[in-house]
Structure 1
Amino acid sequence: MTDASPTIGWIGAGRMGAQLVQRLLAAGHDVAVYNRTRAKAEPLAEAGASLVDRPVDLAGRDVVFVMVSASKDLEDVMLGDGGLLTDPERAPKAIGDASTVSMEASAKIRAAAEGRGVGFVATPVSGNPKVIAAGKLTVAASGPRDAFELIRPLLQTWGRGVTYVGEGEAARIVKIAHNVFLGVVIQNLIEITLLAEKAGVRRSDFLAFLNDSVMGSPYSRYKSPALVNLDFTPTFTPVLLLKDLDLGLAAARELGVVMPVTATTREVVATEVNAGNTEQDFASMIVRAALHSGIDLQPEGVEVDDGLAPES
């Protein structure tokens, strides 16, 4: 392997993973991909990736990235039947795991990887497919510093920022805290937007004011179109948000941190999931909140800037 041309394996070609593979391919890298449903990875083959049938078929690659949905999925693709780390003869030099999983699951896989002489780096990301397309994805990384430096140039193709936050599972808690904040902020953003609407202010006008104020943020801006026009094409579902809130509360219990606002938000999100809201974007929580507030929620049909124009 050379720093300029590592061979790359990729496990998990969902909405996020597929776009990150596309960025690696666009940067000229040799990428082989495993996805549980092979047909979903076939567009990547058309873009220049090769496809494999099992995670273990990537064991001869220099670096393998993983992006799966949950802790159990990570264990399966690493240690299960045909898992990446089950080949007794071959293993990658480094693994970068971009999944959002528990610290316990990550530590288990880290121990297994290090037992094979493989540098394991947690590489969770902040963003969604539209953020990736805009070149604004950011990465937190933790693990052995030498393994991080090995994969840093590859991570830098994903977006605009890579932050090394320490050894071990430090990046996991950074990502969990990030997603807890995401959930708490969307819930409060929904509440105050509906408060303004019930007082007679259009959602588009309130959010335009908020986004131009010191309280506005890239996050409030890019969720504004969904809240105004009620387009809930999924970027992140209530199911995934609930998983991350549970991870945050579990970490809080273990570390002795009091998180009452997170606990309340968790119950709101659980209500959405239990009511069957599992496939839409989590901004769709505004619909139930409006119903409970006596608001007849209608799309406004207003063009709203989401702040995600691609960076030059």
Structure 2
Amino acid sequence: MDTIAAARPTAGWIGTGRMGFAMARRLAGAGVDLAVWNRTAARAAPLTEHGATVVDSVAELRGRDVVFTMVSTEHVLDQVLLGDGGLLTEPGRAPGTVVDCSTVSPEASATLRAACAERGTAFLAAPVSGNAKVVEAGRLSLVASGPEATYRQVAPLLGLIGRSVTYAGEGEGARLVKVAHNLVLGILAQALAETAVLAEKGGVSRRAYLEFLNDSVLGSAFTRYKTPALVRLDYTPTFTPVLLRKDFDLGLTAGRDLGVPLPLASATAQLVQACVSSGREAEDFSVLLDLQAAASGLEIKPETGAVDDGLSDTDTGTGTGSDTGTSTGTSASADA
């Protein structure tokens, strides 16, 4: 914080879906001079209550020292940077650094990195692990790659957004780390669905099974904060099957390119596709549980009562600790 106060960089933010809103709110709440743009301005407007300024166009962010992007697809990222009126389209006027927190392919990232370099703008890839509630609880993890000098300049800002930041070296290493991470995410989600259905069909409640799992050596932050959804069958989206499918496509492509067989990821990708094909694409990817139950001939129902998500007793940082409903919109591709 002292470093930031001394340097006083101005920051911009593009994209205030569920993740982008929560991340931008932490920066604004920490006193960073933050200007925000979102395609639907109303979704960014509540950030003014935390000290941010909402601007009418991406062009108004060109004079910022650092501009963060958190959008849903490579196409959207390309448009906000290089499309009509994009951040990098006015000669001689561009931010000092662009930090992209979206999940995109290493190839797309490298293309944008080169476009930034042509304009004298540094580029840092900084994808994240966590959902909006994790951001609010101060437990987001980030992985960054790019020039080390750029990383060191931006690291204090990244440290305000999340609990941990890992530097993965030059180039696009952070993209590969995030893609690999999301393969594990999907495989774990399917494993939870399969074993919870197995336990329930054998007469054990999902709550009891997941409580034991969370307190065992296999428990993790992920298994804990997905437990309420699995117990209550609450599929309010934090990360959709469509976004997970996109990440599996990236991972399987990387596997082919690098000559790495990915049998578990390949099988899980088909189950994620089944979610999308069944019409459940707008729900949370925890809906894998429903598909597994149906395939097992088991009718499952919501279980009632309090369920610990593992986040309620953590430092909420500059967030509220709960979703106030102001961060609605399309989720950028982080994870849930």
Query: How far does residue 93 in structure 1 lie from its aligned partner after superposition?
Result: 1.1
Q: Could you tell which deviates more after superposition, 231-240 or 38-47?
A: 38-47
Cα contact 2:94–2:121 (8 A) shared by 1: yes
Tell me which amino acid in the other structure corresponds to 1:67.
Answer: M
State the Cα RMSD in Å.
1.3
Query: How far does residue 217 in structure 1 lie from its aligned partner after superposition?
Result: 1.2
Query: How far does residue 3 in structure 1 lie from its aligned partner after superposition?
Result: 5.2
Query: How far does residue 85 in structure 1 lie from its aligned partner after superposition?
Result: 0.6
Q: Deviations over 1:241-298 (max 9, x none)?
A: 1110111001111111100110111111111111211221111121121111111100
Distance of aligned partners of 1:42 and 1:311 in 2 relative to their CA distance in 1, 3 Å threshold: same
**Equivalences for residues 101-180 of structure 1 within 5 A:** 101-180=104-183
Cα contact 1:135–1:310 (8 A) shared by 2: no
- Number of the residue aligned with 2:288: 285
Q: Deviations over 1:39-75 (max 9, x none)?
A: 2111113332212222222110000000000111111
TM-score (norm 1): 0.97
- Number of the residue aligned with 2:86: 83
Tell me which amino acid in the other structure corresponds to 1:214.
Answer: V
Aligned equivalents of 1:3 and 1:99: distance in 2? 28
Aligned equivalents of 1:9 and 1:244: distance in 2? 26
TM-score (norm 2): 0.90
Cα contact 1:239–1:273 (8 A) shared by 2: yes
Residue ranges of structure 1 left out of the alignment (5+ in a row): none
Q: Report the 3-state secondary structure (helix = DSSP H, G, I; strand = E; otherwise coil) of the residue aligned with 1:254.
A: helix
Q: Deviations over 1:194-229 (max 9, x none)?
A: 001101111111111111111111111111111111
> For 1:203, which of 206, 217, 232 is the aligned residue?
206
- Number of the residue aligned with 1:295: 298
Q: Report the 3-state secondary structure (helix = DSSP H, G, I; strand = E; otherwise coil) of the residue aligned with 1:85.
A: coil
Distance of aligned partners of 1:240 and 1:186 in 2 relative to their CA distance in 1, 3 Å threshold: same
Cα contact 2:214–2:223 (8 A) shared by 1: yes
Aligned equivalents of 2:123 and 2:5: distance in 1? 19
Distance of aligned partners of 1:27 and 1:4 in 2 relative to their CA distance in 1, 3 Å threshold: farther
Residue ranges of structure 2 left out of the alignment (5+ in a row): 316-336
Cα contact 2:36–2:53 (8 A) shared by 1: yes
Aligned equivalents of 2:28 and 2:38: distance in 1? 17
**Equivalences for residues 44-63 of structure 1 within 5 A:** 44-63=47-66
Same amino acid, percent of matched pairs: 54
Q: Report the 3-state secondary structure (helix = DSSP H, G, I; strand = E; otherwise coil) of the residue aligned with 1:95.
A: strand
> For 1:231, which of 227, 230, 234 is the aligned residue?
234
Distance of aligned partners of 1:129 and 1:310 in 2 relative to their CA distance in 1, 3 Å threshold: farther
Q: Could you tell which deviates more after superposition, 120-129 or 41-50?
A: 41-50
Tell me which amino acid in the other structure corresponds to 2:85.
Answer: G
